[in-house]
Chains A and B, each alone.
Chain A
Amino acid sequence: MRRKAFATAALVALGLAGPLSADPVDDKLIVNGETELVTHTKAPDYIDGLDEIWSGWAFRAAETRAIEADDFDNPGMIFVEDAEAVWNRVEGGAGKSCASCHGDPSSMKGVRTVMPKYNEKAGDLWSLEDYINDCRVNRMQAEAWGWNDKDMVNMTALISVQSRGMPMNVAIDGPAKPYWEKGREMYYTRTGQLELSCANCHEDHYGDMIRADHLSQGQINGFPTYRLKNAKLNSIHARFKGCVRDTRAATYKPGSPEFHALELYVASRGNGLSVEGVAVRN
């Protein structure tokens, strides 16, 4: 009896210590009991500041992690279903839908893993959103969507789900190199009244607590992400904007050249992690 009381006391002490150390959880993410995702792996060689990379999933509470492990529980999948309807919806002067050219959404398998990438024709770095709008304007003769329009974010989610479980693999060499260098420069540059760079939090202090939350590595392999705080899907650039705002800097616009470059660099830091195809975060 006395021994048990002792053990309980020890557990209480551990419990108190728990919330202070917020190391990533070495747990397995298996979606729908079948697709195992890589949430923890070796960092790519070109990343100096990290030995290991962790998906943001590993930093979330057990309840939040469980939501992502089941498509029925994952509220992000509602938006994916919405996008499936839009995929088949004929719009614009050409009388086409996404399906008219691309067939089933499964034809988009692998697309998300290499985004953003350098587009030869346009001579610029393109994100998934740019490709979608190019299709809408030039092939469908429909109106372009705004970067964070509901339909746009949902469509990027539908396309991402097709690559679920595949490793992120953006190209950083060749014509993409200058963008990547610019992104890296941004990542390590302190900005805002708080004088914080991305690296100050997401490289030097991941696993620590900030604003009553666990700091992740800021990986974007799970995007677009369903956030419990706003009950919708959030784009990568919208998240960047929120982060920059938190440093009390004037932010760049979603879809701006700066965020394109940053997206490439941050994506490259997560090369090797699985595309999660709508992650769930808080």
Chain B
Amino acid sequence: MAKGVKPRVKVPKSAAAGDVVTIKTLISHKMESGQRKDKEGNIIPRSIINRFTCDFVGASQSGNVIDVQLSGAISTNPYFEFEAKVPESGEFKFTWYDDDGSVYETAKSITVA
């Protein structure tokens, strides 16, 4: 597992049914490119976030919001901002997949009044 990885997300706490909300996510991650060498000259293996997903889980409706594939040359601390339509109260689940097999998860609930 890469060091200092910390997911952060910003989701409004409440919304009206059918509202489109803006979601911001950022994960602190080195995004080691696989092109660099350490002091001994050995290649440091690539370790980047290669996939990011956001899913909505509600009582009656659930679904995927976005599913992103990330490749090389994406900078450190990748940031995503996107919009989602909120049908009912529920939870947004966020998942980041690391090359080294680690999976980082976090979730934020939203209330539809």
Contact = CB atoms under 8 A, between A and B. Distances in A.
Contacts of B28: 78
B10 A72 contact: yes
Contacts of A73: 24, 79
A75 B4 CA distance: 15
A81 B6 CA distance: 10
B11 to A, nearest CB: 11
A222 to B, nearest CB: 20
Majority SS at the chain A contact face: loop
Contacts of B8: 72
Interface size band for B: 10 to 19
A82 B75 contact: no
Majority SS at the chain B contact face: strand
Nearest to B81: A73
Interface size band for A: under 10
Contacts, number: 17
B26 interface: yes
Contacts of B75: 231
A78 B77 contact: yes
A73 B79 CA distance: 8
Contact of B26 (A72, A82, A231): A72
17 contacts: A72-B8, A72-B10, A72-B24, A72-B26, A73-B24, A73-B79, A75-B26, A75-B77, A75-B79, A78-B26, A78-B28, A78-B77, A81-B6, A82-B4, A231-B75, A231-B76, A231-B77
Given A72-B26, A78-B28, 9 more contacts: A72-B8, A72-B10, A72-B24, A73-B79, A78-B26, A78-B77, A82-B4, A231-B75, A231-B76
